[in-house]
Amino acid sequence: MGRTKNSTLVERARKTVPGFDSMYKKLEKKVKLSGLSSSTLLNYGRSIAKIALHFGKPPLELEEETINDYLLELKAGEQPSESYFKHTVYGLRYLFRLFGREDQAIKLPPLRRKNQLPVVLSRAECRRLFCTPKLLKHRIMLALTYSAGLRLGELIALRLEDIDSDRMQIRIRQGKGNKDRYVVLSDFILQGLRKYFRACHPKTYLFNGQKKGQPMGKRSVQWIMRSTVRQAGIKKPVSLHTLRHSFATHLIEDGVDLFTVKEQLGHARIETTLRYIHVARQVKRTDVHSPLDTLYRA
């Protein structure tokens, strides 16, 4: 539904705003050649098309003050969306740089990251969450997300052949930044997956959608998470991504080193992983020993 609406917005601008079509074609070509995701093109295209439709001309033809007034109005709207504002600024910046307008790109307002710590579920809350759904498919889906620290897009893109039970790994295809990686396959979740395979007989994708040969949609998974959280009586403001935060935090609490956690999550920078140190409960370890005791251990 969201994709159709956003695509229609771009199509309207291409048909009604003079000069928008040729500008968008160049933008689309650059985004694809740069290896950026289709969602990036969708978000940039939507925000740029909305500005073009608002003023009746492409953003490249607008004065700096006009764009800033538009952004200010966007920020102060009745229902301001932080993510939409961010996509608008990023989209404009990318567009200006693409057309050699670096000076105008620099003048756009900087986007400062909010220094907010992620919400994390306790281990007891995780256990309660995973046993709440009545459907086996839903229980496995949520537990698998937590067990490997998956993003929503990574979860629904999983194919049957991505589960490598011999090496106890899961292959993540084209994760964030279009990078492949391998993550840990829990022995516990493998047992659940085998039970799920016997009961549900998935084809192609690990979690099939309603249409044959298609994966489950993002909104369906988000609905499953929301309804399960409500039924489990969890009051924290959580989403499916909270399971990924919980995975990272619990690994650190278990003593797993930061570099390993970074690789499992697929972070490009260690600084992104460091924030989980501030969330993890500091566990006092009493098993300190001399390295000599393990020096000659086979």
> Sorting pLDDT into bands at 50, 70 and 90, what band is 264?
very high
- CA angle 49/50/51 to nearest 5° reads 90
Give dist(CA 272, CA 204) in Å, integer: 33
Examine the domain organization and report whether 68 and 134 are in the same domain. Answer: no
Examine the domain organization and report whether 8 and 68 are in the same domain. Answer: yes
pLDDT at res. 200 = 92
Sign of the four-CA dihedral 11, 13, 17, 20:
negative
Q: Does residue 247 sit within a domain? A: yes
pTM: 0.66
Examine the domain organization and report whether 84 and 155 are in the same domain. Answer: no
Supply the range of the domain harboring residue 84. Answer: 2-107
pLDDT at res. 2 = 44
pLDDT at res. 77 = 65
CA distances to 35, 158, 205, 220 from 215, rounded to whole Å, are 22, 8, 6, 11
Helix (H) or strand (E) run with residue 153 in it: helix 152-156
- pLDDT tens figures, 112-129: 666 678 899 999 999 999
Q: Annotated catalytic sites, by residue?
A: 151, 176, 241, 244, 267, 276
Q: Does residue 289 sit within a domain? A: no
pLDDT of 254 strictly over 80:
yes
Rounded to a whole number of angstroms, the distance between the first and last alpha carbons of the chain is 58
- pLDDT tens figures, 194-250: 999 999 999 899 999 888 888 999 889 999 999 999 999 999 999 999 999 999 999
pLDDT at res. 8 = 84
How many domains does the chain fold into?
Answer: 2
DSSP 246: H
Examine the domain organization and report whether 66 and 136 are in the same domain. Answer: no
> Sorting pLDDT into bands at 50, 70 and 90, what band is 163?
very high
> What number of other Cβ atoms are within 10 A of residue 259's Cβ?
10
Examine the domain organization and report whether 102 and 137 are in the same domain. Answer: no
> Sorting pLDDT into bands at 50, 70 and 90, what band is 280?
confident
